[in-house]
Amino acid sequence: MNVGVLALQGAVAEHIRSIESCGAKGTIVKRTEQLDELDGLIIPGGESTTIGKLMRTYGFIEAVKAFSEQGKPIFGTCAGLIVLAERIVGEPAAHLGLLDVTVARNAFGRQRESFEIDLEMKDWNRPVRAVFIRAPLIESAGPDVDVLASYKDGIVAVRQGHLLGASFHPELTDDNSMHAYFIEMIRQYSA
The residue annotated as part of the active site, out of 14, 15, 22, 78, is: 78
Count the Cβ atoms, other than its own, within 10 Å of residue 174: 8
CATH no. of 2-190: 3.40.50.880
Q: Tell how far CA 17 is from the center of its chain.
A: 16
Domain ranges of the chain: 2-190
With contact defined as beta carbons under 8 Å apart, do 170 and 141 qualify? Answer: no
Q: Does residue 169 have an active-site annotation? A: yes
Count the Cβ atoms, other than its own, within 10 Å of residue 43: 32
Backbone φ and ψ for 184, nearest 5 degrees, come out as: -65, -40
The residue annotated as part of the active site, out of 14, 15, 171, 179, is: 171
Count the Cβ atoms, other than its own, within 10 Å of residue 33: 9
Give one word for 175, left, alpha or beta, with left for phi > 0 and alpha for psi -120 to 50. Answer: beta
Chain segment 94-141, per-residue pLDDT in tens: 999 999 999 998 777 666 678 899 999 998 889 999 999 888 999 999
Q: Does residue 162 have an active-site annotation? A: no
The residue annotated as part of the active site, out of 15, 162, 169, 179, is: 169
Give the pLDDT score at 42: 98
Chain segment 159-189, per-residue pLDDT in tens: 999 999 999 999 999 999 999 999 999 999 8
Helix (H, G, I), strand (E, B) or coil at 132: strand
With contact defined as beta carbons under 8 Å apart, do 43 and 84 qualify? Answer: yes
The reported pTM is 0.95
Q: Does residue 171 have an active-site annotation? A: yes
